[in-house]
Structure 1
């Protein structure tokens, strides 16, 4: 698998932009000392406050100062940058997560597509979790969909269709291609060989296991250290919130490693092309010939990786995060195959030969039908795989149970995103000064933009499917009515807007974490939670025992919330993954 390690190195290299020595800046302890010493008076209006922001009658007991007094006494600058604090916090709380990004599955031949998938994953964990959950649910659905059928090669069909979720798959029924692939005994090798050729994995390795273990151990140790070494030590630079914010990455990486997505575009194309060389098709006179001799370039099942269509661009990228874009077309491909297997199974159950003039040859229960009963003319083969369907109930363009799977995948994705981001928000919110400040606002913005990216791209995929299926052809040209044309334009706009937002959000989350470790947010404005308190903003400088207790409770609650959310997601994947295949 190809991984954009250069991008990860770039993110880590951003730290070089920070100076390696402390520079002059604001000292909030000195500011509070001046207020306590009575430099600005001794009354309740001098700007001294308690840890709740209320003015204190005795300024010598003040633990904070109002925002207006903070600006006056301390200025608008930040506290001095301290390399020792920055390097320790960055290497403990952020660097392991950036390294773990390299363990995400990629596979596109184009490096830009791989970079695109990194930016989408980091910029929208909601979208990454949605595609992951949808993949698991789809594998379970296709298994249940085809499991009742008894015709040969159903088991292989389930494996192939489930594995090709990472590819733009197209199923062609015209010319008896799909029916021949299912019915003819000469095509049994096609199913067997393709199943083996696509059975390559991007799964557990020493590198992946080491990376995950490093992240887990580093996270546990840093959480313990943050409590045992003293909460008041560099409290505003502490990475508790950062660690919780990035915890979504752990279930995403573990989930993909367990699924082992088939996302190497070159190997997938090679496997399908090799298998299609083995395919046979029935002719009008009842003979069976290789497809390559049938005067057609089309195949029953093929990948459309090389086709150019700006509307369906994301479907061509085999990185698993783009499974959201392939969901609806993949469901339609599965339905085509399912209907053909259903009809063939029904005929098999009724002991019907493909050629009605050939008597049925009895076989043992559980055995394949006799080869004599699996051959016929092209029309007979097509009729054998055509299910009866009432004219008043045409097949839906969307597919069965797509809404329920999308709803469940969305619920789990939103839970993971807002469970981790919410934990980070709580941990910073209850760190004095309480309320929405620069740090908590940056976490909130990250989660909001992640959700917006997910909404834009999922909506784009729905509009793409609608525009692709709402058209007809006349004299070789695709004709679209105005709703389809409008859906096409809106889909492309939403997709571009979503990707731009994801790129910004991925850079924003890294930069905001660096800002926190580098004391960029340690200024009067950010420390006073002006976003939330407005005219009543104040800056708590000296913590009291009650503050430490409150902070400890909030940090423990945040760790439990983020960790519990991640565990639930991993547990969900393990429960639904690998459904039992039919015998």
Structure 2
């Protein structure tokens, strides 16, 4: 694959600069909750200033927590001092492995900006990334079933799932029928038969991340009370979605390299033949510069995402890809039906019986351009504008993506929620917002894709005078699609920045302030309190919550990986070497 992850790591100096600036500013912070609790216990803020870890008033000497309003007075509104040792340990253990794993995602666009946008979309909307991967697997099974009834030559090669446009004249029918084009299918498959799959570096990266995650989780459970507020349990769970997504794409091995895809089509189209009115096939290059199969590279804002070869955009190609597959498969099925009835392409010639080594003789596959088109065209075409079985695949892929996103983010929310002071606070609220925005981005992009496909419908009618009337709602759908898609990408970029910022705030003690530690967001200022000292029972309950969060996140990731492994690589009805 192309070395496309460099733009991501060029932004790391900015991240380090942010940390350095924050460190310099927070070094002079004065908040010290341990000292504040001692002052409260000493009665410096009144005789009834202390509370227990449930927020109930207790004598100052027995206080283990500080009410929010007294916390601000006693400790100030700023964070606790920055600790480089805490930051470096937590950052390297909980976040750095995930940043390294991003480089294993497949991209493929011949543009660093497009690849960077793919990274941003993946981080900003894990739902979209998981949805596109699951949808790709489901599409693979659907295309195998779609071609299962066809035994016409080259059916096996036609099942390569490539996103293409097509011309509706004799070019496509010639590709399927003419024996001279058998080499075209083999040539295309040979040059597309490269893999972006398991390698030593990929396996090492995944093993490193997995082992680091397991070891870090186990290590954190042995000393819950130490560094409880800067602990990265929530960070590890929130990023765990990346591991199954990377594993899924490595198993799918998408053909996403734009340069290789374009080169494969160029090579194959150089040797393609087309039927002529006289019945003698000619090289297509001698007839015109049109080809039956080619990449859509026209400048069209509406279909920009469809043209980008990065796998995360597979969601945008669903409708157009399904329509192309149905058209080609219908041609193959009709040609298969006629050949089984011993009907040659040229109805004026007799059927030539084949043998075991060649059941369908080339003599039966020649004819004029009109005969070739008629041979592949069904008298009763059945084709939906949206595509067969498409909504079922969308629903299944959506459920899997939501399980992965909300299983991992839900674990992060649960872990931080159950860490004293319990409730909705800065940390749990940040993860909740991240998951919500991720889901909204996915919904917006799916809706934009539906509008984009609707805008391609031929919605014209004739008025009383016989003049064609075009419906404005079609143009409106296309314009709305562009606006919604751009807004969703901006939202995804903001969400990607948000999750990085949240992780930095977690590790740099930014959240270690009265407002965040007192869970004011969930309890309200009047009832909020900051737990400073944990009892043995609370340490045990917090440890149990952390274990539960790790199990929830790992379980949702395991469900997703299990689905991919069960549904991937569907058996084809026959191969090129099968009789």
TM-score between the two structures when normalised by the length of structure 1: 0.94
Q: What's 2:484 paired with?
A: 494
Between the two proteins, the alignment pairs up a number of residues equal to 563
The answer to whether the aligner puts 1:470 opposite 2:458 as a matched pair is: yes
Q: What's 2:471 paired with?
A: 481
In structure 2, which of residues 33, 41, 56 is the aligned counterpart of residue 36 of structure 1?
A: 41
Q: What's 2:57 paired with?
A: 55
Q: What's 1:86 paired with?
A: 87
Q: What's 1:130 paired with?
A: 131
3-state DSSP class of the match of 1:49?
coil
Distance 1:17 1:539 in 2: 28
Q: What's 2:241 paired with?
A: 248
Q: What's 1:353 paired with?
A: 344
Q: What's 1:415 paired with?
A: 403
In structure 1, which of residues 267, 276, 279 is the aligned counterpart of residue 260 of structure 2?
A: 267
Taking structure 1 as reference, are residues 468 and 140 closer, same or farther at Cα in structure 2, changes over 3 Å only?
A: same
Q: What's 2:465 paired with?
A: none
In the TM superposition, residue 17 of structure 1 has moved relative to its aligned partner by 3.0
In structure 2, which of residues 549, 554, 558 is the aligned counterpart of residue 558 of structure 1?
A: 549
Structure 2 gaps, min length 5: 463-467, 575-579
Kindly provide the CA deviation profile for residues 343-402 of structure 1, in whole angstroms up to 9, marking residues without a partner as x: 000001111010111111122368441111100111111110001217xxx621110000
In structure 2, which of residues 369, 386, 393 is the aligned counterpart of residue 405 of structure 1?
A: 393
3-state DSSP class of the match of 1:582?
coil
Q: What's 1:73 paired with?
A: 74
TM-score between the two structures when normalised by the length of structure 2: 0.95
In the TM superposition, residue 413 of structure 1 has moved relative to its aligned partner by 0.5
Structure 1 gaps, min length 5: none
In the TM superposition, residue 173 of structure 1 has moved relative to its aligned partner by 2.2
Bigger drift between 118-127 and 19-28 goes to 19-28
Q: What's 2:577 paired with?
A: none
CA contact (8 A) 1:11 1:510 kept: no
Structure 2 counterparts to residues 196-345 of structure 1, below 5 A: 196-228=190-222, 230-294=223-287, 296-304=288-296, 306-345=297-336
3-state DSSP class of the match of 2:246?
helix
Distance 2:459 2:445 in 1: 22
Distance 1:496 1:87 in 2: 36
CA contact (8 A) 2:174 2:275 kept: yes
Distance 1:341 1:442 in 2: 52
Distance 1:422 1:562 in 2: 8
Kindly provide the CA deviation profile for residues 398-418 of structure 1, in whole angstroms up to 9, marking residues without a partner as x: 100000000000000011000
CA contact (8 A) 2:195 2:254 kept: yes
Distance 2:450 2:209 in 1: 36
In the TM superposition, residue 39 of structure 1 has moved relative to its aligned partner by 1.8
Q: CA RMSD in A?
A: 1.7
In structure 2, which of residues 362, 365, 369 is the aligned counterpart of residue 374 of structure 1?
A: 365
Distance 2:166 2:413 in 1: 47
Structure 2 counterparts to residues 116-127 of structure 1, below 5 A: 116-127=117-128
Q: What's 1:427 paired with?
A: 415
In the TM superposition, residue 564 of structure 1 has moved relative to its aligned partner by 0.7
In the TM superposition, residue 509 of structure 1 has moved relative to its aligned partner by 0.4
Q: What's 1:513 paired with?
A: 503
In the TM superposition, residue 13 of structure 1 has moved relative to its aligned partner by 5.1
Taking structure 1 as reference, are residues 220 and 318 closer, same or farther at Cα in structure 2, changes over 3 Å only?
A: same
Q: What's 2:353 paired with?
A: 362
CA contact (8 A) 2:31 2:76 kept: yes
Kindly provide the CA deviation profile for residues 39-61 of structure 1, in whole angstroms up to 9, marking residues without a partner as x: 2233xxx33111111111x2211
CA contact (8 A) 1:152 1:368 kept: no
3-state DSSP class of the match of 2:229?
helix
Distance 1:11 1:345 in 2: 57
CA contact (8 A) 1:171 1:336 kept: no
Distance 2:17 2:357 in 1: 67
Taking structure 1 as reference, are residues 366 and 467 closer, same or farther at Cα in structure 2, changes over 3 Å only?
A: farther
3-state DSSP class of the match of 2:294?
strand
CA contact (8 A) 1:254 1:570 kept: yes
Taking structure 1 as reference, are residues 85 and 321 closer, same or farther at Cα in structure 2, changes over 3 Å only?
A: same
In the TM superposition, residue 9 of structure 1 has moved relative to its aligned partner by 4.4
In the TM superposition, residue 570 of structure 1 has moved relative to its aligned partner by 0.8
3-state DSSP class of the match of 1:236?
coil
Q: What's 1:157 paired with?
A: 158
Distance 2:112 2:91 in 1: 28
3-state DSSP class of the match of 2:298?
coil
Kindly provide the CA deviation profile for residues 247-299 of structure 1, in whole angstroms up to 9, marking residues without a partner as x: 000001111011111111011001011101111111111111111111x2221
